[in-house]
Structure formats: C-alpha cells, structure tokens
C-alpha cells in the first residue's frame, strides 16, 4: 500500500505551461484555428500611446469572456478565480505561472470606458467566424434557427410602470388618419393637423382636456420597465419565474457554430 499524504510544497520542478496543457484540449484547437491578433488593429485607437499606465493586453482582455461563455462559468468574478488555478486557461490567455490575473472588474471597466457604444464585438464575431469558415470548420449547407430568452442583469423588484403605444393600435391609427384625410380632400377640406397642432376645441377632435384623443388613449398599454436595464423586457413563460430578459434568436450550422444572431430590446416578452 502506498500513501501519498506527504505534502511536497517545497519541492522545485522545472515545468512549462506548454507541457501541462493536453494536446487535445479544446483551447489548443481554438488557438490553432483562430488568430486573435486582428484585435490589436480594431482597438488601437481606443488606447493612448503617450499617457496613462500600461494597459492589459487587449487580446487577453477579450479572451477572458470567451473562456467564461465557452465553459459556462456564471460570473466574471468566478471566471477570474478559475483562471488563477487552471493552467489551460492561463496558457490560452498568454499568462505565465506567476503573472497576475486581471481583477474581475477590469473587463467591465474597459467595456464601459472604451468599448461601449461601438460595434467592436460584432467585428470580432465576424472576423472569428470568417477564420473558422476558411478552416472548413463551418458548414452552411444546413442551418438551424432557434430563439430563447436570456435573463438580464437586473433586479426584478427595481421597476416602474410606463405607458407605451400598442403596435396594432398605431397601425390602425395611421390607416384611419389616411382614410379621413382622403375623405376630407374629396370634400375640399384640409388634412387633419398633427397631434401637437390640434385645436382641442375643434369639432370631434376635442379631447375633453385630457391631452389625448380617445383613440390615442385606447392605443396605450401598461408596461413594466426595469430601472436598472430599461432596454430589457418583462418575461414570463409557463411556470417560470417572471424576470427581466432579452429575446435572443440565433442561426447555427450543424456543428453548432453561431452564424448570426439578433437581440430584441425595448419590448414586452410574452409566452
């Protein structure tokens, strides 16, 4: 019987990350198929060459959320903890044994200060997809389209109620306005004025002092809006808990590669 309870912390060994990452590891396959150096050109104008402290390598910064989503890690904080102890993750990021892993808030701060409001991530998505297609990893002969909801990072209790126009009511309102204007033109009358110019004392357009016509009042509906993430929608499906979420539609090939996606915003999500 052999016992390995003896601890060997003081023992020194000469090893490299290259030796410790298995040849068939998924991250090795990704590294062989995708050249991430194009990111440097995309973000060059976002960094100063004269002022400020040395930045974190932008390729490393972009690879961190890739690890998070590929391996289903729930939060950026946990992702950083996993990178600290996982040699394959360190190897993929270009970090050595003793290199400090960025703080979990670093990606969020860089996104807010540098990347928010840009199409950087769309460009990265497209470039990686093109490289995968060139390496014959993507097969577009058959494509599958599916939709799901993704929970927003928003507290369901922090919300307010607002009134929004119903799409079908707006459409009906526009068609009705066209018919009324056509009839008025046939009788030699001027078209109806826009809502802001309507004289509230004029004929049947009197709103009774409420500031809107009966048609406009009927065209409104109440909606719950998050005060944390106003663009998300209130989602409830079957027995699922009601949450703020986004509707995400993706198109994939038979190997699971995402070819395109859409994210629905500012709408009420219904079953």
Q: H or E element: which one contains 117?
A: none
Last residue of a domain, one of 181, 202, 218: 218
Q: Hey, what long-range contacts does 209-218 have (CB within 8 A, 24 or more apart)?
A: 215/169, 215/173, 215/176, 216/173, 218/169
Last residue of a domain, one of 180, 197, 218: 218
User: Is 119 in the same domain as 241?
Assistant: no
pLDDT at 1: 64
Whether residue 86 is contained in a domain is answered as: yes
User: Is 122 in the same domain as 209?
Assistant: no
Whether residue 6 is contained in a domain is answered as: no
User: Is 208 in the same domain as 245?
Assistant: no
Whether residue 12 is contained in a domain is answered as: no
Whether residue 9 is contained in a domain is answered as: no
User: Is 53 in the same domain as 118?
Assistant: yes
User: Is 43 in the same domain as 119?
Assistant: yes
User: Is 130 in the same domain as 230?
Assistant: no
Range of the domain at 266: 139-166+221-271
Q: Which residues of the chain have pLDDT under 70?
A: 1-10, 165-176, 193-219, 237-240, 265-271
User: Is 174 in the same domain as 162?
Assistant: no
The whole model's pTM is what? 0.64
Last residue of a domain, one of 218, 238, 256: 218
CB neighbours of residue 107 within 10 Å: 20
User: Is 37 in the same domain as 111?
Assistant: yes
pLDDT at 170: 57
Whether residue 116 is contained in a domain is answered as: yes
User: Is 47 in the same domain as 120?
Assistant: yes
Q: What is the largest CA-CA distance in the chain?
A: 107
Domain count, the chain: 3
User: Is 152 in the same domain as 131?
Assistant: no
Whether residue 206 is contained in a domain is answered as: yes
User: Is 133 in the same domain as 161?
Assistant: no
SS3 content of the chain, % helix, strand, coil (to 5): 40, 15, 45
pLDDT at 8: 63
């Amino acid at each position: 019987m052999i016992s390995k309870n003896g601890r060997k912390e003081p023992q020194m060994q000469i090893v490299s990350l290259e030796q410790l990452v298995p040849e068939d590891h998924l991250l090795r396959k990704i590294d062989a198929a995708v050249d991430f150096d194009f990111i440097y050109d995309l973000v060059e104008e976002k960094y100063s060459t004269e002022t400020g402290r040395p930045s974190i390598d932008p390729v490393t910064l972009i690879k961190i959320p890739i690890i998070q989503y590929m391996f289903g890690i729930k939060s950026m904080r946990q992702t950083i903890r996993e990178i600290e102890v996982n040699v394959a993750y360190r190897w993929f990021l270009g970090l050595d044994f003793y290199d400090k892993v960025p703080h979990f808030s670093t990606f969020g701060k860089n996104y807010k200060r540098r990347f928010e409001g840009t199409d950087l991530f769309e460009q990265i998505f497209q470039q990686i997809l093109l490289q995968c297609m060139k390496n014959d990893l993507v097969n577009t002969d058959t494509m599958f389209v599916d939709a799901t909801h993704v929970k927003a990072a928003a507290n369901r209790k922090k919300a307010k109620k607002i009134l929004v126009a119903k799409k079908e009511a707006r459409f009906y309102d526009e068609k009705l306005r066209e018919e009324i204007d056509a009839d008025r033109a046939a009788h030699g009358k001027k078209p109806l004025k826009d809502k802001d110019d309507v004289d509230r004392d004029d004929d049947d357009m009197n709103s009774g002092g409420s500031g809107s016509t009966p048609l406009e009042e009927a065209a409104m509906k109440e909606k719950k809006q998050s005060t944390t993430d106003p663009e998300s929608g209130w989602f409830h499906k079957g027995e699922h808990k009601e949450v703020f979420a986004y509707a995400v539609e993706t198109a994939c090939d038979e190997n699971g590669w995402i070819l395109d996606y859409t994210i629905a915003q500012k709408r009420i999500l219904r079953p």
